[in-house]
Amino acid sequence: MGHRQGRRFGSFSAGFMGGMGMGGGAFRAGRRLASGDLQLVLLALLAERASHGYELIKALQERSDGFYSPSPGMVYPALTWLEEMGYARVTSEGVRKLYSITEAGCGYLTENQGAADAMLSQLEQIGRKMGRLREVFGGDDEDADWRELAAVRRELQQAVREKRRSTAEEKSRIISILKQAVAQIRVKG
pLDDT tens series, the chain, 189 aa: 443 443 433 334 333 333 333 333 444 334 457 778 899 999 999 999 999 999 999 999 888 888 888 889 999 999 999 999 999 999 998 889 999 999 999 999 999 999 999 988 888 888 788 777 766 665 555 566 777 787 788 888 888 888 888 899 999 999 999 999 888 888 876
Q: Whats the size of the chain, residue-wise? A: 189
- Give the pLDDT score at 89: 97
Query: Residue 177 to residues 44, 160, 168: CA-CA distances in angstroms?
Result: 40, 11, 14
Coil, strand or helix at 156: helix
Instruction: Give the DSSP letter of residue 87.
Output: S
- Give the pLDDT score at 156: 86
Give the contacts of 96 (CB within 8 A, at least 6 positions apart).
52
- Give the pLDDT score at 6: 39
Alpha helices in 33-142 (DSSP H): 35-48, 53-63, 72-84, 103-111, 113-137
Q: Is the pTM of this model over 0.85?
A: no
**Could you tell me the sign of the dihedral formed by the alpha carbons of 12, 155, 54, 79, in that order?**
negative
- Give the pLDDT score at 173: 93
d(CA 161, CA 167): 13
- Give the pLDDT score at 64: 84
Q: What are phi and psi of 13, to 5 degrees?
A: -75, -20
